[in-house]
Structure 1
């Protein structure tokens, strides 16, 4: 009788804890029946640009499909965009206003690069997608008259990029601080190419893969062929949710000595 009552108490406590975990932790990726894995990136403004959007990154073997919808961009202007970051364990993330080292009110590409890392993939509309095409503004998408932009392209990537896509992030460039509707040299020349205005190359928004822990070292890689990636990629959130379930399990230790946290994907 005591064991039965203990088991009921354990169940009653564990159920709300499990529900709280599922509500609090966003899924970093989901897999479809083909084995492809899709990651969501929420793009948030930099340099008070007002730009924002969403990028969906789908990894299928060594093919990466990128879909971006954004708004608040400089109308009728090309917007360089890239996947930045590292696949070798360095911790990169989106910058904040503190990256403006010369305090001129603009986080330039050079000032932001220590935070978001070098170009890994150039998201051009055609042709080369390497770092070398980072400033190929003639092959970058152009915003519509209302400042919206839609982009989709499937790109061949290395296995390393496919395995570490959650450690990378998306950055779009191009700002209009004086509101004249075009890129000009009001903020000087780009430090990347003096033929281009600073406005054309300064970052306008940035986003990290949902669930990727900010400020933690990138670890492991995404499963790309076996098993499911449904569930959690954020180690910090996983630890917090697991602690809640372990607390529930502790109440039922007399009944069951297993102390496993909620089921998580195995790498």
Structure 2
């Protein structure tokens, strides 16, 4: 009697384990598919553009990444009216920590943070936000293909770009910089602040940064390995797996998430001289 009861119980447990396995594995497979689909969906990041060099410029940028497609929308005010404004995504895709510069970047204390003075803080050009054509670093000063502010100093820009895997992986490590200032208030670029160190044919006013903004939640995409500051954080992906043991099925979620948020805010530029 006891032998028959034990055999019956063993059969019931085996059937239960088989049923659990048959339902758990498809559920786990479906869960994995869902995560991949979710990762492929667009992710949007807001950027608040704050003035540099007491330019009076400010605005908002929205970056939406869907796979390798990056849509960039920028609206800004307080720019030099009727003038082209070079704009870029600056920063690093190899883990270096760059950010918007503060007044300490003005090394010669002339009241202007030039592009060269700002580069150690905000990093080199990664993408040139031109209106058409090439978007590489080499188009960084191609003002003929940069957006132009209207008569009231307002600028509106939108473009969808195809970006590299490195940019897609490190989008949070990049930030938006707009260039072009008007220290003497004559509503045009002139050589009152000298020649640009980037191109002596251009005034310093045309290339000096006017505004800068970090992506919301910036620098959480990778572990900084250098740059001006070493802060930020790392985020290693959560791994999911199915472990089978003792003839029974168990879906086991195992993951580790390390995150340290760096909230660098862009400081106002140095006052006009």
Q: Same fold judged by TM-score > 0.5?
A: yes
Alignment correspondent of 1:179: 185
Alignment correspondent of 2:82: 76
1:72-124 alpha-carbon deviations (Å, 9 max, x no partner): 00000000000000011111000011100000000000000000000000000
1:57 deviates by 0.5
Q: RMSD in angstroms over aligned alpha carbons?
A: 2.6
Distance, in Å, in 1 between the alignment partners of 2:83 and 2:96 is 33
1:211 deviates by 2.0
Pick from 221, 230, 234 the counterpart of residue 219 of structure 1: 234
Alignment correspondent of 1:103: 109
Distance, in Å, in 2 between the alignment partners of 1:69 and 1:45 is 14
1:210 deviates by 1.1
Alignment correspondent of 2:260: 235
Alignment correspondent of 2:98: 92
CA contact (8 A) 1:71 1:147 kept: yes
1:56 maps to 2:62: yes
CA contact (8 A) 1:84 1:118 kept: yes
Alignment correspondent of 1:7: none
Cα 1:44/1:156, change in 2 over 3 Å:
same
Cα 1:37/1:80, change in 2 over 3 Å:
same
1:236 deviates by 3.1
1:146 maps to 2:152: yes
Pick from 161, 165, 169 the counterpart of residue 155 of structure 1: 161
Distance, in Å, in 1 between the alignment partners of 2:185 and 2:130 is 26
CA contact (8 A) 1:164 1:222 kept: no
Distance, in Å, in 1 between the alignment partners of 2:236 and 2:102 is 26
Cα 1:189/1:105, change in 2 over 3 Å:
same
Distance, in Å, in 2 between the alignment partners of 1:33 and 1:92 is 26
Distance, in Å, in 1 between the alignment partners of 2:177 and 2:83 is 16
Distance, in Å, in 2 between the alignment partners of 1:33 and 1:148 is 35
TM-score (norm 2): 0.69
Work out the number of aligned pairs and report it: 200
Cα 1:180/1:235, change in 2 over 3 Å:
same
CA contact (8 A) 1:64 1:156 kept: yes
Distance, in Å, in 2 between the alignment partners of 1:221 and 1:36 is 20
> Secondary structure at the residue paired with 1:55?
strand
Cα 1:103/1:138, change in 2 over 3 Å:
same
Alignment correspondent of 2:136: 130
Which segments of 5 or more consecutive residues in structure 1 lack a partner in the other structure?
Answer: 1-30, 224-232, 239-267
Which segments of 5 or more consecutive residues in structure 2 lack a partner in the other structure?
Answer: 1-36, 221-228, 239-257, 264-273
> Secondary structure at the residue paired with 2:153?
coil
TM-score (norm 1): 0.70
- Map of 1:25-44 to 2, 5 A cutoff? 35-44=41-50
Q: Which has the larger radius of gyration?
A: 2
